[in-house]
Every structure is written in structure tokens, then in C-alpha cells.
Chains A and B, each alone.
Chain A
Amino acid sequence: MNVMRQTDDATATAEIKIAAKGVQVYYGDNHAIKDVDVDIADRTVTAFIGPSGCGKSTFLRCLNRMNDTIDICRVEGKITLDGEDIYDKRVDPVQLRAKVGMVFQKPNPFPKSIYDNVAYGPRIHGLARGKAELDEIVENSLRRAALWGEVKDRLNAPGTGLSGGQQQRLCIARAVATSPEVLLMDEPCSALDPIATAQVEELIDELRSRFAVVIVTHSMQQAARVSQKTAFFHLGNLVEFGETGQIFTNPRDPRTESYITGRIG
């Protein structure tokens, strides 16, 4: 409890990694995100919660411009990463996504070997100068994803042959391998059993020492367990953003209250 308190205090002083100001997202005529301001602190887990269709995933995808792949999606407002506008015309989204990694809802390893899954990012970004260096990156990434011990003897086995929880950790290792600065996670545990979920949550807490982590989750308990900051989205609005402990014991907004206590709201 004391340790927790201390780290929480540390987040208050952590510098801002991503700052979003007045973000609006439109899907065709649908105004999906309405004027959202959020500051994502470095070395902190920030959770986005809210009912289905509230825009939390949409907003998450704005942070690494995954929305670019959808033709009808339009983003307005300003999102900066370390002070640089990521929607600037000069920014190549591919370069951005190497800095802002992403882990998806369903574990989606490539149908390749475990090694190739992790090595793919470093390969296409030219992060390793030789086989030895690449081996090192793969090992470090798998270690960081708490998967090394389980797979070190079968790096050439297909990644799709792992269990669901292992696959998700493999995806995290894959995202970590490109040395990102921010890790976005879109409901990373929704397809996992409680044990695998706990392992991934433990991993997220570990990752916090190196990255800013943003996690979208349907499970309020998960948000409560892993995050230091929580943002509650409702109907495209950011209703409340604050320290996780405060959101879960004493939310300021009645809509947040209704949602986290499981009332019709």
C-alpha cells in the first residue's frame, strides 16, 4: 500500500508524454469523439474506461494514427508526442507507429515462428545490425514480456501454437521489440482467462517502468488494478479524468458514478 502510494505520487510529477487538445473524431457524419483533452503522463498506466461505443478505442487509435487506415475517419484538434504534433503533414504514420506501439484485443501473432514475430519490427525498422544483435533484441523483448522462460527452447515453433495468454504476451513482446516510447493496448485481456489476465496485468505494471502505457478496458476492475490514471468516456465525451483511486472511490461526475457502480446511466 505504501509503495503504491509513493508511485502514485511519482506520477503526479511525471512529465507529459502525449497531450491531446480539443480532439474531435468523425466517422462520416458520426461525431465519435467530442472535444477531448487528455494528458498522458510518461511511465504511467492510463486506463480508458466506458461503455461500448463510447469512443475510448477510437480515441486510443488516434494516438498512433491507426484511424488513418479508415477512409471515412477524420481527426481534428491537436495531439502531440513530446511536443510534436503527430498529425502534422510531415509526420509519417509508419514512423510514428514505431514509437507508439500497439497491442490489440484479440491476440494476433503473425502465422510465423515466435522468433520472427518478435524480430519483424526490428527488421523492418533496421534496428539490428546483425544476427547477434537481432537475437539479443528478441531475447530482451521476450524477457520483458515475461515469456522468455516459456518459449526459449522453441523459438522456431509457430507463434499461433501458443496458448491465448502466451500469444498476447508474444504480441506485447513484438510491440516492445521496436523500442516504443508509448504502448497502446486495446482491451488486451478480453480474450484471456483470469490467470493469463493476471500475468498480462503484472506485465503491464512492469512495463510502466519504461513506457507510458495506455490501456482501453471493459473491465473496471482491471482499470482499477493496473492503472494510475483513469479516463471515463461516455458518448464520445471525456467525462472524467483523474487519479484511479479517486475515480473508483469518489468520482466527481454522476455519469462516472453510475457507470462504475453498475447502474443504469
Chain B
Amino acid sequence: MTAKTSLLTPDARTKRRNAAEARFRLYGLIAVAVAVIALAGLLVSIFGNGSSAFRQTTLHLEIPLPEDKLDKSGTRDLEVMKKVTTIGYAKVLANALEAQLDAQGISVEGLKSKDISKFLSEEAPATLRNQVLEDPSLVGQKITLELLVGGRIDGYYKGRVTRETALLDKNVSTAQLDLADALKEMGLLHTSFNWGFVTAPDASEKRPEAAGLGVAIIGSFYMMIVVLALALPIGVATAVYLEEFAPKNRFTDIIEVNISNLAAVPSIVFGILGLAAFINFAGLPQSAPIVGGLVLTLMTLPRIIIPARAALKAVPPSIRAAALGVGASKMQSVFHHVLPLAAPGILTGMIIGLAQALGETAPLLLIGMVAFVRDYPGAPMEGFFDPATALPVQIYNWTQRADPAFVERASGAIIVLLIFLLAMNAVAILLRRKFERRW
């Protein structure tokens, strides 16, 4: 070596090395910052657009139910009463509102009777009609109801509709907005948590204020049950067999390669397979959660098998040797020792697979789950065969619609979906914590 160097002064090489390390850390921080900003932007945009979907403006209205209009025969015969359509009930509602305005002494300049009848949602007469048909004895009495107001009036309270946009919009007039303000002052119009959004079925394009996720949530839930019931046993059994029992030969090699490849197959391909196999060949009904569940099961299986095998592989061989050493059979060693140790890993993989399935849209479009479904599917088991829709498909559907109120609904639905996914991931983390490796 040459001259003696001091440890107290870093040499040029050390300085270069330290500078390179500092640069590398900086790049890392920048990358993390970009990711965080992107995520924050996404969340802000979704929550900004969507959080208002969870609030809904309703009108507190006293409605006299005139017998001459709703049951001319006076017999309270349902068949007869059903002949009165929602148009008839709409008139009842309009009259009730006008009467209330008169009674409260509210007069709004330039308010036409058409504005009054359009003030309420198109869903409101249907709500009233259902109520009356359910209990015909109400006819002739006075009832009070919280009724949905029109989408534009709702939007006015959520900041989506302003007086400027109202001037350009032929679906709403400034007079209606004045009326809304007046009603608000009286305490008749108020905004509250929107339970209908998570329980109600989808609604037509004309009445976004009534559209809800009820059917989609049930549909998604049914599909997850199907996926769980099929993919967990099949996936775990496959993984255990391949990892613990299968001989290592060309045949199992091919199977292994194919499982890895299947995990990478685009999900829409599974949709086509489902359409061909389950609907065209097996003759299962379209739009049914059972078909969706089967398709998602196919898609999820490789994504469960791969982490399950990894979890099994991570169990130290010494545990297997120990079990065999005390005279356990191969199967006893797997089921008594290896599988319990691999369980947290397997369950975590399972839940992540389920979460992916929950968010999958493309294959469901192909098997007809994109249909407009207003009827709740029945209870299991028949319910699995009833038409339903799914959360991601519902989101896709709503983003296609013209009314800007549906943008809000779609964002709201995304929030619901994200909450489900977060909940599932939280469960995965909890499971992993609870069964932390103990060897």
C-alpha cells in the first residue's frame, strides 16, 4: 500500500460511493412521492365526485289520498285499483304539493304547475302507488311521506346544479330552485343519508336519484359465495396434491406451466369460455350469479393455486421430516402439520383472489350480467339462478348514462366497491397476523 490514509477524512472513492447512494435514495423518494400523489389524486377525485351519492334530498309532504281518483269503485279491490297508473298518482302528488304551498302561503314567481309536478322525482308517484296498493285502506286518508325530489333539485343541494346551469337546462327552471329554497326554509326539504343508494335496485336513465346498488351488491355477494365454495376446496386440493403428492414428471411439469399461464390469461377470455360452456352448452340462464360465479371461479383458481403452493413450499421440510419420523403417514403429515402452517398464506392468497374476482368486469359483460335488472334475486339457492348484476358492471353501466347525476352515482359505487375490497384486504392482513409463522 502507498501512503497511510486517515480514517477521519473520506477518500474520493468513498465520497463517490456515498453520493451514488444518496442519489439512489432520492430517486426512491421521488418514485414513492409520485405514487402517493397519484393515489391521493384518484381518491380525492372519487370521493369528491362520489361522496355526495350517499346523501339524498327528500321532501316531507302531506298527501291526501282522494278516493275518487284512486279507487272510483270504492270497493278497495286491488285489481281495480291497479288500473290507476303512476300518472294518476303523479297528479295526486302535484295537487298535494300545490295544496301544501297554498297552506304555507308560499308563492314563487313564475312557477308553473308543470314545474311543480316536475319538482318531485318520477320515482315518487311509484313509491306512493306501491304504498297504497300494499294497504288499500289508506285511500281517503291523509298520509305523510318523505319523497325523493327530482335529480336536478337534488343536484342543486349538492352543488352540481346552479342557477347559471339551470338557465341552460330545460329540465329545470330557476323558479323550481326558488321553490326549493323556500321549502328548505320551511324545513320541509332536507338532505339526509341515502340508504336507498345501497339498498335500492337500479333505476332508469330518467331518475338517477332513485338508482341504487341493492341488486348489484346481492349479485356480487352471491358470486363471491359461488367462488368461495368452489375455488377454495378445488384450489387448495390442487395445490396440496401438486406440492406434496404428485410425482415430479413431465406431465406434472406441463400442468404447472399451464397453471402459471392461466393466471396470466386475460379475464375476458374466461368470459367467452363461460358464455360457450355454461350458457350455450350447459344451458344455464344468462345474467345469473351462478354463471358469473363459475366464470370467476375459473379465473380465480390459478391465482389461488399459485400462492397456496408458495405457502406450502414455505413450510420448512423439517416439519414434514419430523412428522414422518414419528411414524405419521404422508397424508397425516400434510393434514396435521403442513396445511395448518400454510393456512395463513393460503387464506391470504384466497382473499386476494376473491378481491380480484369481486372487481372483475370484463367476463361478466360477456355472460349478460350487464342487463338492466330491477328485481332483487331471490334467496339462495334459487337466487343464484335469478338475473342479477354485479358491482363493477353497475359502475360500468352508470358511467355510460347521459345524466350527470349518474357520474356521482358511479363514483359512489366505486367507493362502495373500494370499501368491500379494503375490508377483504383487512381480513387478509388480520389472518396473517393471527397465524404468524410460529416455527
Per the CB under 8 Å rule, do A and B touch in the complex?
A: yes
Does A111 lie at the interface of the complex (its beta carbon under 8 Å from any beta carbon of B)?
yes
Asked whether A101 lies within 8 Å of B248 as measured between CB atoms, the reply is no
Q: Can you list 20 A-B pairs with a CB-CB distance of less than 8 A?
A: A64-B325, A66-B324, A94-B327, A97-B324, A97-B327, A98-B326, A101-B327, A102-B321, A102-B325, A102-B326, A103-B325, A108-B316, A108-B321, A110-B319, A111-B319, A120-B326, A120-B328, A124-B327, A175-B326, A177-B326
Asked whether A108 lies within 8 Å of B322 as measured between CB atoms, the reply is yes
Does B318 lie at the interface of the complex (its beta carbon under 8 Å from any beta carbon of A)?
yes
Asked whether A171 lies within 8 Å of B322 as measured between CB atoms, the reply is yes
Chain A interfacial positions (CB closer than 8 Å to B): 64, 66, 69, 71, 94-98, 101-104, 106, 108-111, 120-121, 124-125, 158, 160, 171, 174-175, 177-178
- A64: chain B residues at CB < 8 Å are 325
Chain A residue nearest in CB terms to B328: A124
Asked whether B327 lies within 8 Å of A121 as measured between CB atoms, the reply is yes
* B86 vs chain A, min Cβ distance (A): 66
The distance in angstroms between the C-alpha atoms of A178 and B325, with both chains bound, is 10
Chain A residue nearest in CB terms to B325: A102
Does B336 lie at the interface of the complex (its beta carbon under 8 Å from any beta carbon of A)?
yes
The distance in angstroms between the C-alpha atoms of A121 and B319, with both chains bound, is 14
- A98: chain B residues at CB < 8 Å are 326-327
Asked whether A94 lies within 8 Å of B319 as measured between CB atoms, the reply is no
0/1 per residue, B328-359, Cβ < 8 Å to A? 11101000110001000000000000000000
* A33 vs chain B, min Cβ distance (A): 19
Residue in contact with A104 in the complex, picked from B322, B328, B438, CB distance below 8 Å: B322
Chain B residue nearest in CB terms to A174: B326
- A94: chain B residues at CB < 8 Å are 327-329
A71 with B326, Cβ < 8 A, contacts A111-B438, A111-B439, A158-B438 known: no
Residue in contact with B318 in the complex, picked from A69, A96, A108, CB distance below 8 Å: A108
Asked whether A178 lies within 8 Å of B326 as measured between CB atoms, the reply is yes
Does B247 lie at the interface of the complex (its beta carbon under 8 Å from any beta carbon of A)?
yes
Chain B residue nearest in CB terms to A125: B327
The distance in angstroms between the C-alpha atoms of A125 and B332, with both chains bound, is 11
- A111: chain B residues at CB < 8 Å are 319, 341, 438-439
Given contacts A108-B321, A120-B326, 15 further A-B contacts (CB under 8 A): A71-B248, A94-B328, A94-B329, A97-B325, A101-B326, A102-B326, A104-B318, A104-B321, A110-B319, A110-B337, A120-B323, A124-B327, A124-B332, A171-B322, A174-B326
The 5 lowest CB-CB distance pairs between A and B, nearest first, are A98-B327, A108-B318, A102-B325, A121-B326, A111-B438
The distance in angstroms between the C-alpha atoms of A158 and B439, with both chains bound, is 10
0/1 per residue, B21-51, Cβ < 8 Å to A? 0000000000000000000000000000000
* B321 vs chain A, min Cβ distance (A): 6
The distance in angstroms between the C-alpha atoms of A28 and B208, with both chains bound, is 71
Asked whether A71 lies within 8 Å of B439 as measured between CB atoms, the reply is no
The distance in angstroms between the C-alpha atoms of A95 and B318, with both chains bound, is 20
The distance in angstroms between the C-alpha atoms of A71 and B326, with both chains bound, is 20
- A96: chain B residues at CB < 8 Å are 327
The distance in angstroms between the C-alpha atoms of A97 and B333, with both chains bound, is 13
Residue in contact with A175 in the complex, picked from B325, B329, B438, CB distance below 8 Å: B325
A interface: dominant SS = helix
The distance in angstroms between the C-alpha atoms of A158 and B436, with both chains bound, is 14
The distance in angstroms between the C-alpha atoms of A101 and B329, with both chains bound, is 14
Asked whether B318 lies within 8 Å of A106 as measured between CB atoms, the reply is yes
Chain A residue nearest in CB terms to B247: A71
- A102: chain B residues at CB < 8 Å are 321, 325-326
Chain B residue nearest in CB terms to A122: B326
- B327: chain A residues at CB < 8 Å are 94-98, 101, 121, 124-125, 178
The distance in angstroms between the C-alpha atoms of A121 and B439, with both chains bound, is 19
- B322: chain A residues at CB < 8 Å are 104, 108-110, 171, 174
A71, A97, A125 — most chain B CB neighbours (10 Å): A97
The distance in angstroms between the C-alpha atoms of A94 and B328, with both chains bound, is 6
* B342 vs chain A, min Cβ distance (A): 12
- B248: chain A residues at CB < 8 Å are 71
- B319: chain A residues at CB < 8 Å are 108, 110-111
Asked whether B318 lies within 8 Å of A101 as measured between CB atoms, the reply is no
Chain A residue nearest in CB terms to B316: A108
- B337: chain A residues at CB < 8 Å are 110
The distance in angstroms between the C-alpha atoms of A110 and B316, with both chains bound, is 11
- B330: chain A residues at CB < 8 Å are 69
The distance in angstroms between the C-alpha atoms of A111 and B316, with both chains bound, is 11
B325, B330, B439 — most chain A CB neighbours (10 Å): B325
0/1 per residue, B295-332, Cβ < 8 Å to A? 00000000000000000000010111111111111101
* A66 vs chain B, min Cβ distance (A): 7
- B332: chain A residues at CB < 8 Å are 124
- B329: chain A residues at CB < 8 Å are 94
The distance in angstroms between the C-alpha atoms of A69 and B247, with both chains bound, is 11
Residue in contact with A101 in the complex, picked from B323, B325, B328, B341, CB distance below 8 Å: B325
The distance in angstroms between the C-alpha atoms of A160 and B316, with both chains bound, is 14
Asked whether B325 lies within 8 Å of A104 as measured between CB atoms, the reply is yes
Residue in contact with A160 in the complex, picked from B320, B324, B336, B439, CB distance below 8 Å: B439
* B251 vs chain A, min Cβ distance (A): 14
Asked whether B328 lies within 8 Å of A66 as measured between CB atoms, the reply is no
The distance in angstroms between the C-alpha atoms of A103 and B248, with both chains bound, is 28
- A106: chain B residues at CB < 8 Å are 318
- A69: chain B residues at CB < 8 Å are 320, 324, 330
0/1 per residue, B226-256, Cβ < 8 Å to A? 0000000000000000000001100000000
Chain B 388-439 residues near chain A, CB threshold 8 A: 438-439
* A133 vs chain B, min Cβ distance (A): 18
- A125: chain B residues at CB < 8 Å are 327
The distance in angstroms between the C-alpha atoms of A101 and B322, with both chains bound, is 10
* B49 vs chain A, min Cβ distance (A): 49
Residue in contact with A97 in the complex, picked from B247, B316, B326, B438, CB distance below 8 Å: B326
Chain A residue nearest in CB terms to B318: A108
Chain B residue nearest in CB terms to A98: B327
